[in-house]
Structure 1
């Protein structure tokens, strides 16, 4: 009967174990020409967090993935290789593959409506015209998932939005970016350890 008890124990622990798993999806476009563009801030923030935790990204299905542990929680950092407009394919696959509850998903993306470097974390919301978020909402069939928006400002002339988001940071932004990346990495760790409400209180607008 011991084997039965052991099997039963594993089954009842499974939901608890899944609650300790997190998916942090940083949005961006693959390719050398996009590496330092504003639209790729999601990739850059995940790179900073992975560097702090000595985690390496490895090529996997629909993206590159780094796995790390934060005080007993398993955290998957996902950079989709589907290009921005199809981000939902990768996010949906990894949520299902690792059986991660949607409340443990955090999508990191750029936002034109926030001043440069401003952080805004929310538990749900519209896609705001962002193609990456639009794809995720369509594939998950809900807009009720946590998201981390990093301000890139809207300092572009009429008709230049695409060139602006796919353009590289200016010199002033480059000087400030490292500190903003560090704060962003701390915000993600807070989300994992303290939950979204505490993280919103601590980091929104910072």
Structure 2
């Protein structure tokens, strides 16, 4: 069983924020695949279905970003899935809005949701899809930035990247990490 988790914070106050990029990609996947993500289990909203010929769990951890690993560990234990079965989708401030980056391993890079997952899994080897939200302005608090909302062209670019991230999930599931990285890690032309 593959687990596709989008990171974010629950509640209307956080809807549409930069930190909720992962939740929004799960919403797109839910709509495209017909998988309802509305069952409350394992400290998450989850839905079961098939994408790219693979049985999947779509998950939106409800633990708040900094404790995302708690929920994912529970889901993985329940479904007897290993880190090789996990795809995590989240926001990344080191990528410009509209850019994606797929990785098979790595550090948390300052992202507290990923830091929590690394602690609970005990490994840095799991698939990630990073969705660019752009660098924070100088002298702005990082928390205020990632909990803020995008507008204008940045929002349009982010929405396109979310659609592309949903497509990347299908490619990861059907063709594997190398094919997905070759296809989606190319820099966007300005």
Task: Point out the structure with max Rg over C-alpha.
Answer: 1
Offset of 1:70 from its aligned partner?
A: 2.3
CA distance in 1, matches of 2:120, 2:52: 31
The reply on whether 1:54 has 2:34 as its aligned counterpart is: yes
Q: 1:149 aligns with which of 125, 130, 133?
A: 130
Counterpart for residue 90 of structure 2: 109
CA RMSD across the alignment: 1.3
Q: Deviations over 1:122-151 (max 9, x none)?
A: 110000011000000011111111111111
Question: How far is 1:157 from its partner?
Answer: 2.5
TM-score, structure 1 normalization: 0.86
Runs of 4+ aligned structure 1 residues displaced above 4 Å come to: none
How many angstroms apart in 2 are the aligned matches of 1:166 and 1:193? 33
Paired residue for 1:176?
157
Q: Distance in 2 between matches of 1:77 and 1:188?
A: 11
Show the counterpart of 1:119. Answer: 100
Q: Is 1:136 the counterpart of 2:153 in the alignment?
A: no
Q: Which runs of 5+ in 2 are unaligned?
A: none
- Superposed counterparts of 1:160-199, under 5 Å: 160-199=141-180
